[in-house]
Structure 1
């Protein structure tokens, strides 16, 4: 069994900014999840990036026993309304982590299954494109770390051209039990120790299979199976064999195959260990619900 620890199902049906997905959208997602099961990808973590996509991620998680959700405000989605967005997100997470108290509570609509929200993220810093607001991104990131601390949830970290500042903020805001994963790790071997010292794992995507990315394969060699989880970031970053096509969680075995080549181990070893890592990090055995 494999777990895709990072995918964007709403993006895959072109509904990235919808609070609620239509039945037509959900039927398309049914087909995606069925295709995943056919290749042994049996659990998915559906990642939020805004209050809207976080709500949609939880909606999808409520539909399937082995799909989970995260919530956040992604650094690339930080705008002049970020304070309102953070307020909305905090209210949503509070509601999603408590039992419904009135017929109007969102969790009544979701069936009261509050355990399906398993992390805060993907959150962090992104200095890649011009025009970003560094101070606003920092404030949002600090708020997301506080939210993770309040509800004892792991963090899914996004950092792009901002690794030093990301680490500095995490150190200054570090809390007891802080944990999580650096999504789509693309930094150097030398920076791995800073990640591991914070108690975090790294996410390995299809980018590890690109011919030019020998440094990522070196990262896998150094990290080993104990400190990695597998993720597609679907519909982005398709593995080399599917490059040029939309990515999908069913391509997780292709990422695992590259890891087997790098580490000289079996596909079964990769499946067992990365699955165990993900289940422990996100406490999936505690959150699994039979629909």
Structure 2
């Protein structure tokens, strides 16, 4: 069984064929997945999905690109909904210095507040980091995030940085970009991360793996990520499938395996 640890199947890109997308995922061996909300509208769309689908779990958190838009009401809403039985993480949250949409100071404040909220709730974190690695690592360390741990989502940094995040009790998750021909840094990291700290994801509908690059991504394609990482590590895809599923279940404190 495969576990897609990061999806946005609540995105409008799936409105017309949601059931078929889940069917294709099941046929590909994807037995569990997470659906992530990153702003008020997408977070609200998480709950009907996880209430209806027994093998889909949820995470909610305010994304860094839109940090400037988060209100006190939004923060209180997140806090009040973390107690839902199938919300298994807080995220995706973090820092994004690529898109110049929210001042760094605002991103830092929203990031720190949500780390503290996750610690209060006893939930692991899902971290979005783009061009902000040093600040991300520093703030996670300063806020004591190792207490709850989490996952570095769609990892794109070096193996050396991965070691630092693992030391903070984080897992390292790879998505479609690890299959790209020019993804040397990600591929080196995917080969080096200890298997007990490895996760896989699609981040669908974004970042479709080869040979579907540029097209809408979907959970069924997480198998292609697993196969590429198996190739990079010189092991069987079955080993990566089993290890990453067990890792996700352990990280997100999911009781049932099937």
Same fold (TM over 0.5): yes
Deviation string for 1:64-97 (max 9, x for gaps)? 110001010000121245434223322333xxx1
Q: In structure 1, what is the Cα distance between the partners aligned to 2:152 and 2:56?
A: 20
When structure 1 is superposed on structure 2, of 217-226 and 256-265 the one drifting more is 217-226
In the alignment, is residue 222 of structure 1 matched against residue 192 of structure 2?
yes
Partner SS for 1:54: helix
Q: Which runs of 5 or more structure 2 residues have no equivalent in the other structure?
A: none
Q: Do the aligned partners of 1:12 and 1:235 also contact (CA within 8 Å) in 2?
A: no
In the other structure, the counterpart of 1:79 is: 68
When normalised by structure 1's length, the TM-score is 0.84
In the alignment, is residue 4 of structure 1 matched against residue 4 of structure 2?
yes
In the other structure, the counterpart of 1:35 is: 24
RMSD after superposition: 1.8
Q: In structure 2, what is the Cα distance between the partners aligned to 1:159 and 1:81?
A: 18
In the other structure, the counterpart of 2:141 is: 171
**Matched residue count:** 258
Q: Considering only CA atoms, is the larger Rg found in Structure 1 or Structure 2?
A: 1
Q: Which runs of 5 or more structure 1 residues have no equivalent in the other structure?
A: 15-24, 98-113
Residue of structure 1 aligned with 2:43, choices 44, 50, 54: 54
In the alignment, is residue 152 of structure 1 matched against residue 122 of structure 2?
yes
Alpha-carbon deviation of 1:164?
1.0
When normalised by structure 2's length, the TM-score is 0.94
In the alignment, is residue 125 of structure 1 matched against residue 95 of structure 2?
yes
Deviation string for 1:183-212 (max 9, x for gaps)? 011111221221011000111101001000
Structure 1 residue ranges (4+ consecutive) displaced by more than 3 angstroms after TM superposition: 80-84
Deviation string for 1:200-249 (max 9, x for gaps)? 01111010010001111110111142211000000000001111210000
